[in-house]
Chain A
């Protein structure tokens, strides 16, 4: 996972496979609660999956700030950049 598109893809895959959402209902501007019917317990599960599958850590403070799919993609992409820069 390197580009922003790949981050989007990864997020969509988790939402589809782990939360039984349909790919076509997921947009960058979709809100977790109102549009996708995800709750605070799902947010924790989502963070666990992201960490297990991609090694990126979303902590509680991150999760509180996130409202839309786009927000998650941005945060994850930022974390990804930091971690790859750190590795280089």
Chain B
């Protein structure tokens, strides 16, 4: 269909990266490239330097994983203290990712702004749910979460770089249905933070995909509200199906916005299959609305 293709093509070419809205309805703490930081006048590295920086970032990340598995995590486990070994490892991972994201920012590969981060600190339990536009999302989120039980694709357990990390941190593989739900519920009852991407995979460009209902089931089962975090990146980078060395025309501006929590309502009904559907639908609608809002 020539018309459809034309429309799609012109959309991609003509759409200059729209400026991101800077208003902050929650009036929360804002960290990062600041309210006055106009991306157009900020220092911008040429693309080839950012490709180099991106490659370097991946290498640093690999080294960090290696250092973690061989030295940092065993040390964290040996350190003692009252909290469990996996919690100490998670804290080490949090600091590593924080350091890593700072490094990536300094290298000029991307910029990060976080709005309302204080809602992610302090005692849990909380269920953090985010959309998943890029490869960097989990790093961005964990760098903001001092403790997080991540739900990770099963394939990470056979990935040479990640296997040691997911094991030491006690992360949970995403393929276990009822058993996974119960494992997550147990951690929430201990006041911990569970982090998951309801789409189960990276989001399609500019929106959200189909949501799985695990997060809603978890909220219904434990009474813990869902804490959405909207992730946007302008221009988009590190997306699904795009090779890492294809960098955008300028460094991507990542914005993490911590939103109002979403709770199960009485009107969702008592029957869990239906209640989980309604809660999931509300959660997804919220993400859709906010993504449209930040892109126009």
Contacts and interface: CB of A to CB of B under 8 A. Distances in A.
A47 to B, nearest CB: 12
A20 interface: yes
Contacts of B277: 19-20
B5 to A, nearest CB: 28
A44 B181 CA distance: 13
A42 B273 contact: yes
A41 B271 contact: no
Nearest to A49: B273
Interface string A7-44: 00000000000111000000000000000010111101
Contacts of B210: 37
A45 interface: yes
Nearest to A37: B210
B276 interface: yes
B274 interface: yes
Interface in B153-181: 177-178, 181
Contacts of B274: 18-20
Contacts, number: 28
Contact of B212 (A19, A20, A39): A39
Interface residues of B, number: 14
B273 to A, nearest CB: 5
Interface in B245-296: 271-274, 276-277
A44 B212 contact: no
Contacts of B214: 39, 41
A40 B178 contact: yes
Query: Chain A binding site: helix, strand, loop or mixed by DSSP?
Result: helix
B178 A19 contact: no
A46 to B, nearest CB: 8
A19 B177 contact: no
B213 interface: yes
Interface string A44-81: 11000000000000000000000000000000000000
Nearest to A18: B273
A42 B273 CA distance: 6
A19 B272 CA distance: 9
B271 A44 contact: no
Nearest to A45: B273
A34 to B, nearest CB: 11
Interface string B199-216: 000000000001011100
A40 B273 contact: no
A39 B178 contact: no
Contacts of B217: 41
Contact of B213 (A18, A39, A44): A39
Contacts of B177: 39-41
Contacts of B273: 18-19, 41-42, 45
A40 B273 CA distance: 11
Contacts of A37: 210
A44 B214 CA distance: 14
Contacts of B212: 39
A20 B278 CA distance: 10
Interface of A: 18-20, 37, 39-42, 44-45
Given A19-B274, A42-B273, A45-B272, 12 more contacts: A18-B271, A18-B274, A19-B273, A19-B277, A20-B274, A20-B277, A37-B210, A39-B212, A40-B178, A41-B213, A41-B273, A44-B178
5 closest A-B pairs by CB: A40-B177, A45-B273, A19-B273, A18-B273, A42-B273
12 contacts: A18-B273, A18-B274, A19-B273, A19-B274, A19-B277, A20-B277, A39-B214, A40-B178, A41-B181, A41-B217, A44-B178, A45-B273
